Amino acid sequence: MSEMAAERDDQTTVTAPQQNDSHTATPEPHEGINQRLNWLRAGVLGANDGIVSVAGIVVGVAGAAVSRNAIGLAGLAGLVAGALSMAAGEYVSVSTQRDTEEALIEKEKHELATMPEEEFEELVALYREKGLSESLAREVARELTDHDVLQAHLDVELGINAEDLTSPWMAAGASAVSFTVGALLPLLMIILTPESVRIPLTFGSVVVALMITGFASARLGGAPVLRAVLRNVIGGAVAMVITYLIGMVAGTL
């Protein structure tokens, strides 16, 4: 987050002397795009978790040669438990982050109210550290302060947008939904396909799905695509093979 904030700040300092409003308008679309990419990336990873987790469960149970109903029940239990676990974990994580950000915002408000001149000089110093001259740093700091003094400090000091804090409930819901969507693929494949081919068809569909999620996560994160896809597919395949073997052994006991 701090790197993105620094990049936005560098862009604003270049345009500030030319037109008064450019440095305040420019960051908004970048912030919006970055926020959407973060949500998409989290959704892809949540779906990936759902695919691998429930695939491991249903393939493992199927390895024990139990009935279709038992496999479906085990898969459904894994789906519900996994979705709730993802939602709870995301809620706690984002709530903690939001509480921290809100505390930092209140601290910054207090400092601006009690020592505004010192805070202004701190803002100037931060822009000087970015390579601006004394006069330009003061000009940019003054324009940003006149526009929104709190956000000016939050942006450059902490990389926080006070108007766009992540909602814990939205994060929890998004995690649960993405996990459920991913988990439905192996669950439906294992219970809807003929018994003689249900395991290879489930295995194949999961591999294809993991290739897609690996590709998507790599593109969204700017990582090498081939490496991400291979890592994703190999990890999921190993998980399914291990659980299937465990199921086979358990089925003979």
Q: Is the pLDDT of residue 246 over 50?
A: yes
Helix (H, G, I), strand (E, B) or coil at 1: coil
Angle between helices 2-15 and 27-63 (to 10 degrees): 160
pLDDT of residue 12: 41
pLDDT band at 159 (very low <50, low <70, confident <90, very high): confident
Centre a 10 Å sphere on the Cβ of residue 63 and count the other Cβ atoms it contains: 21
pLDDT of residue 37: 63
pLDDT band at 38 (very low <50, low <70, confident <90, very high): low
Mean pLDDT value across the chain: 83
Sign of CA dihedral 50, 51, 57, 62: positive
Taking residues 87-110, what's their average pLDDT?
90
Taking residues 239-247, what's their average pLDDT?
94
Centre a 10 Å sphere on the Cβ of residue 48 and count the other Cβ atoms it contains: 23
Rounded-to-integer distance, Cα 41 and Cα 78, Å: 23
DSSP label of 8:
H
pLDDT band at 29 (very low <50, low <70, confident <90, very high): very low
Among 38-47, 68-77, 85-94, whose mean pLDDT is lowest?
Answer: 38-47
pTM of the model: 0.73
Taking residues 118-139, what's their average pLDDT?
85
pLDDT of residue 10: 45
Among 29-43, 53-67, 119-133, whose mean pLDDT is lowest?
Answer: 29-43
pLDDT tens column, 3-12: 444 444 444 4
Identity (one letter) of the amino acid at 73?
Answer: L
Q: Is the pLDDT of residue 143 over 90?
A: no
pLDDT of residue 31: 54
Q: Is the pLDDT of residue 34 over 60?
A: no
pLDDT band at 75 (very low <50, low <70, confident <90, very high): very high
Which of 48, 55, 47 minimizes the C-alpha distance to 243?
55
pLDDT tens column, 180-217: 999 999 999 999 999 889 999 999 999 999 999 999 88
Taking residues 121-139, what's their average pLDDT?
85
pLDDT of residue 28: 44
